Chain A
Amino acid sequence: MTCSDVQQVLPDIVDGDAEFQSHLDSCPACSALVADLRLIAAGAQELAEAEQPPARVWVNIANQLRAEGIIHDPGPVSVRPALLPSRPRRSIVWWLAPVAAAVLAAVSYQVAHKQQPFQTKVAVQPATQQPAQSVTASQTPQSTPAELASPATKHPQQLAQDRTPSSSKTARPADSKVEENRVAAEVSPPASAEDQRFLTEVSERTPGMRSTYENQLRAVNGEIRDTLEFVRRHPGDIDARQHLLEVYQQKAMLYQMALDRIQ
């Protein structure tokens, strides 16, 4: 048996496969490698559930950017697109880019670091098999005591109905989806100060687009909220984590579209 053979099956060895133990006993390099990987795996499992950064973090970032002169107060209204270098660009919306990038980076970090080590397959677990101990009061400040008492004993469909307004609790025919989305948008106000500022910027630059962006932002925020809730209840669902990243990417795309259009 060679080191190369061992390296082919490292994940199995780290998971406790004793078949290659004799080689590990005689090979300091492989032994050290496996020890390191086990340490990393254990550390990854102990990583605490990350929370959304508090609003003050974004405010501090904005203040810092303002202090460094990267962002400024709003200037006069213009509808001129700014692709040609011959005309000066407005710098007022530069803050959108770092905000979008920061949101994306934060979520990417969360998603990437919450995955179980060496998990290579998508295994869809029934809701009743989710580990209840992974959801704590400190990790889910918005959870109610009732939810914490039985956080993972509900069927996903039941969870969906719990989150769905009563007007759309019936079966999901295609016709009702538009209404469902509309209701979801109405109950999902733009949450953050950045969203409000984004909308203010849009309405100043392109007043006719304000309602469009606002509705889309509400919808995306609703999707983020629903997915976050699902991830809290099903922390082992890799697809849900991936989906969370994708809905954040959609929000970043929304910001980027506005950035391209209104600067």
Chain B
Amino acid sequence: MKSWCIGCGSTGMARPKGRFMESIPQRSVVVVVMAAFLVSVAVAQTRREFRYTVGPHANVSVDTQYGGISVTPGDIDEVVLVAIIQSDKAEVDYQQSGNRIQVVSHVFPGADQQTGRIDYELRVPRDATVSLRSSTGPLAAQHLNGDLTMEGTDAVVDIHDVSNGHVHVSTMRGPVTLTNVQNGHVEISSISGDVTMKTVTGPLVKANSGTGRITYDGDFGSGGDYKFTTHSGDITAIVPASASADFSVHSMLGKVQKDFPLQPRYPHLAFEEGRAFFGTVGKAASAVVLRSFSGRIRLKQR
């Protein structure tokens, strides 16, 4: 049977006699080393659980410099916070004032992105107002009905199955994905992150990215204001044939295109070919404004 040793670099090669490795089964050494590593990691990593009793519409904020935060619905009168602390270079500071809970990762000097990392798993009542902030992320929330605010520098933001609340997201580079957000007041702003929205509707949906792309796949609901803007990022809107919207599309230096006909909004005005179009589809129930400085804007039918 072939064996291998640490440092030999190949299997079954001849080894000089009298070496330490020769006297110990090498596979056992590897197992011991791996086990020691895992034990050390496990010892360094601490898992702490916090429980808070709250009333309706609790307000929960979590701020961690390094680490992810995920939020899921839990009991109606309790907030459960699980913190996974990577090392003693960071600790959890928390404070409850009535219905308001503030949690902050306290990172000690000298901590880096690994040792200062604290990940949070949060279970809140569905109607809670939740505010999350993390430089690294990821940030995730699902199946909530309350207001939601997320801020992340590089954090990947993923929100799905949220309804009836305000959803405000801001990132510097992190991509933002919203899926199945209903009746929301949505505002997304990113400097260079991509924004992807699938089945997102509400009275107000705004997305703004500098160099990131904005992609919307949905029917623009009924009676909402939608405004997507970029500087150089492309904007793509994919709508079903049943959509009812009033489109105002303009790219100052980029191209605009649509692959289905619209009822012209201003038939007596001439617009720059390929840079703007204004028209309606269906009963024009929602107002859709797509603007870019130099990005391409495409309106597609599903």
Contact = CB atoms under 8 A, between A and B. Distances in A.
Interface of A: 77-81, 83-84, 86, 121-124, 126, 156-157, 159-160, 172, 174, 177, 180-181, 208-209, 212, 216, 219-220, 223, 226-227, 230, 234, 237, 239-240, 242-243, 246-247, 249-250, 253-254, 257, 260-261
A159 B189 contact: no
Nearest to A155: B272
B210 A219 contact: yes
Nearest to A83: B104
Interface stretch (B10-18, B43-51, B156-164, B289-297): B289-297
Contact of B269 (A79, A123, A174, A237): A123
Contact of A250 (B208, B234, B250, B254): B208
B253 A253 contact: no
A261 B154 CA distance: 13
A81 B208 contact: no
Nearest to A82: B104
B70 interface: no
Contact of B272 (A126, A212, A223): A126
B45 to A, nearest CB: 20
B234 A216 contact: no
A72 B217 CA distance: 49
A220 B191 contact: yes
A227 B192 contact: no
A227 B252 CA distance: 10
7 contacts: A81-B65, A86-B93, A156-B252, A172-B296, A177-B211, A230-B252, A253-B170
B232 interface: yes
Contact of B252 (A123, A126, A172, A243): A243
B111 A261 contact: no
B100 interface: no
Nearest to B275: A124
Contacts of B296: 172
Given A160-B294, A257-B172, A223 B231 contact: yes
Given A122-B248, A172-B294, A250-B191, 9 more contacts: A80-B106, A80-B109, A81-B63, A81-B106, A159-B253, A226-B293, A230-B293, A237-B252, A243-B229
Interface string B273-292: 00110100000000000010
B86 interface: no
A205 B252 CA distance: 39
The DSSP consensus for interface residues of chain B is loop
B144 interface: no
A28 to B, nearest CB: 37
A39 B46 CA distance: 70
B172 A216 contact: yes
B129 interface: no
Contacts of A172: 254, 294, 296
B218 to A, nearest CB: 22
Nearest to B294: A160
Contacts of B113: 208
B144 to A, nearest CB: 22
Interface residues of B, number: 51
B133 interface: yes
B65 A261 contact: yes
A177 B232 contact: yes
A251 to B, nearest CB: 9
B215 interface: no
B208 A246 contact: yes
B293 A181 contact: no
A122 B248 CA distance: 9
B133 A260 contact: yes
A172 B233 CA distance: 11
Given A160-B253, A239-B291, A216 B191 contact: yes
B95 interface: yes
A257 to B, nearest CB: 6
A159 B211 CA distance: 19
A124 B276 contact: yes
Interface-central residue, B108, B232, B234, B278, by most chain A CB under 10 Å: B232
Interface-central residue, B108, B172, B173, by most chain A CB under 10 Å: B172
Interface-central residue, A83, A220, A230, by most chain B CB under 10 Å: A83
B266 interface: yes
Contacts of B272: 124, 126, 156
B153 interface: yes
Contacts of A227: 231, 293
A79 B111 CA distance: 8
B96 interface: no
B202 interface: no
Contacts of B266: 121
A222 to B, nearest CB: 9
B145 interface: no
A253 B191 CA distance: 9
B265 to A, nearest CB: 9
A83 B64 CA distance: 10
Contacts of A157: 253
Rank and list the top 6 A-B pairs by shortest CB-CB distance, nearest first.
Answer: A160-B253, A83-B104, A124-B276, A223-B231, A124-B271, A181-B211
B183 interface: no
